[in-house]
Amino acid sequence: MPRINEHYLNLKASYLFAEIKRRTQAFREAHPEARIITLGIGDVTLPLSPAVVGALEEAAREQARAETLKGYGPYVGYEWLRADIAAHDFGVRGVSVAVDEIFVSDGGKSDSANIQEIFATDCVVALMDPVYPVYADSNVMAGRSGPADESERYAGFVYLPCTADNGFLPALPAGHVDLIYLCYPNNPTGAVMTREALARWVEYARAHDAIILYDAAYEAYIRDPEIPHSIYEIEGAREVAIESRSFSKNAGFTGLRLAYTVVPKEARGQTRGGKTLGLNELWLRRVSTKSNGPPYVVQKAAAAVYTPDGQKQVRALVDHYMESARIIREGLRAAGFTVYGGSNAPYIWLRTPAGLSSWDFFDRLLAEAHVVGMPGSGFGPSGEGYFRLTAFGSRAETEDAIDRIRTRLRP
């Protein structure tokens, strides 16, 4: 019998979102009459925009004819899509990203789980706390964490607490770390990072030869013109930052699957013997071996997002979800909750009522309002006492959920 990767034994029994699904299903079976509203996982509810659907249909028709059939595509994504990304997501902000620095993939989740593979297993990882669980779990699987203690903290990670006390902006690590995961606009707290704060991280990374893994999946939700959309807006970031973006939350591709990661040519790592190597080269080698690129039809759909119609339609989707965020934020405030986020991000982060842990509040919300949310402690120890709601639910259900919380569950 082969030996297993025992680092898996250091993981929590189940992935956070799977656990939420399991508990929701158990409640549904016990209370078949309950009309449950899910504002837990950040999954979109609005249909794909007409520009995207048109491109999907056209691409499907191309696949139906031998003359236009596309087989294997480039490992890293088609050049026409990468050129659109470079121009529309970066060029318009005065940021220069070359086409061969862009790697198109099947999702931000896969990219953020996989990127750690090109780094040594003894790299010291710094994680925001609370954090999107994929960053932590993928590093646990790779053996960088060791076992968790009773408060579910891993001795091998450096935690960067993000609480109301620091405005959900972590302090720089006290010592040296190699890899730093930052996500802004933040999942789960809905916070954003100012240009000055981000510049301090870039400065830290440069001083410590660290690499920042910057997850900008929620960039489209930034409303404040002072907030940077890309880490590459900060001088010196190209040497020390890898940035990922996704089509899931702006264009509603959670079901289609498409994302990309930028690995600048200047970003480098070294061998134990001190030889330096480009991370772009390493990631290219990894992607060429493990992927044949996302489906052609999905890449065509993504390119449609950058057409004038696509841009307008996608903007309307984001505006719609931002209005839902406002409804949740203001509704909860009116009901007496302390609420954060939801102004430049599709997540609302609230304090649980006094004396209730995050999971207690999850249970109470489900039992009394039949509303599913995300317990803050599921995202990390510093999330205890907080709770996350998503603005991606349908408008009618969102309004209904807030109404139920207001009438059945005052803090």
Contact 296, 55 (CB under 8 A): no
Q: Which is nearer to ligand MLT, 109 or 329 (CB)?
A: 109
**For residues 191-250, which are near ligand MLT according to CB under 6 A?**
none
CB contact set of 69 (below 8 Å; sequence gap of 6+): 62, 63
CB of 341 to ligand MLT, least distance (A): 13
Task: Considering only the stretches 39-47, 93-101, 258-266, 323-331, report the one whose residues sit in contact with ligand MLT under the rule CB under 6 A.
Answer: 39-47
The number of residues that bind ligand MLT (CB under 6 A) is 6
Conformation bin of residue 175: beta by default, left when phi > 0, alpha when psi is -120 to 50: beta
CB of 212 to ligand MLT, least distance (A): 20
Task: Considering only the stretches 37-45, 165-173, 304-312, 327-335, report the one whose residues sit in contact with ligand MLT under the rule CB under 6 A.
Answer: 37-45
CB of 136 to ligand MLT, least distance (A): 13
Cα dihedral angle (364, 368, 371, 372), rounded to 10 degrees?
30
d(CA 134, CA 274): 30
Q: How far is CA 339 from CA 37, 172, 227, 350, in A?
A: 20, 25, 20, 4
Q: Which is nearer to ligand MLT, 205 or 314 (CB)?
A: 314
d(CA 217, CA 252): 12
Closest among 143, 105, 148, 129 to 283, alpha carbons compared: 105
CB of 4 to ligand MLT, least distance (A): 25
Q: Which is nearer to ligand MLT, 107 or 264 (CB)?
A: 107
d(CA 308, CA 320): 19
Q: Which is nearer to ligand MLT, 183 or 405 (CB)?
A: 183
77 to 116: interface string for ligand MLT, x by CB under 6 A:
--------------------------------x-------
Task: Considering only the stretches 35-43, 66-74, 94-102, 268-276, report the one whose residues sit in contact with ligand MLT under the rule CB under 6 A.
Answer: 35-43
Give the CB-nearest residue to ligand MLT: 42
CB of 43 to ligand MLT, least distance (A): 6
121 to 150: interface string for ligand MLT, x by CB under 6 A:
-----------x------------------
Q: Which is nearer to ligand MLT, 181 or 296 (CB)?
A: 181
d(CA 333, CA 196): 29
Angle made by CA atoms 48, 214, 103, in degrees to the nearest 5: 60
CB of 185 to ligand MLT, least distance (A): 12
Closest among 88, 399, 36, 41 to 255, alpha carbons compared: 41
Task: Considering only the stretches 36-44, 75-83, 270-278, 293-301, report the one whose residues sit in contact with ligand MLT under the rule CB under 6 A.
Answer: 36-44
Phi, then psi, of 309 in degrees rounded to 5? -65, -45
Q: Which is nearer to ligand MLT, 43 or 203 (CB)?
A: 43
Contact 399, 328 (CB under 8 A): no
Determine how many CB atoms are found less than 10 A away from the CB of residue 3: 5
Residue 187 interacts with ligand MLT (CB under 6 A)? Answer: yes
Strand order in the sheet with 179-183: 102-105, 259-262, 241-246, 211-215, 179-183, 125-129, 157-161
Q: Which is nearer to ligand MLT, 42 or 293 (CB)?
A: 42
Residue 41 interacts with ligand MLT (CB under 6 A)? Answer: yes
Q: Which is nearer to ligand MLT, 199 or 256 (CB)?
A: 256
Q: Which is nearer to ligand MLT, 43 or 400 (CB)?
A: 43
Task: Considering only the stretches 38-46, 135-143, 175-183, 267-275, report the one whose residues sit in contact with ligand MLT under the rule CB under 6 A.
Answer: 38-46
Q: Which is nearer to ligand MLT, 41 or 118 (CB)?
A: 41
Read off the amino acid at residue 286.
R
Q: How far is CA 408 from CA 326, 342, 362, 364, 375, in A?
A: 21, 23, 14, 10, 19
Q: Which is nearer to ligand MLT, 189 or 280 (CB)?
A: 189
Residue 86 is given by DSSP the state I
CB of 250 to ligand MLT, least distance (A): 12
Residue 42 interacts with ligand MLT (CB under 6 A)? Answer: yes
Read off the amino acid at residue 351.
R
Task: Considering only the stretches 31-39, 41-49, 67-75, 225-233, report the one whose residues sit in contact with ligand MLT under the rule CB under 6 A.
Answer: 41-49
Beta strands in 201-253 (DSSP E): 211-215, 241-246
Name the one residue in this structure whose structure tokens are 């050049």.
79
Enumerate binding residues for ligand MLT (CB under 6 A). Answer: 41-43, 109, 132, 187
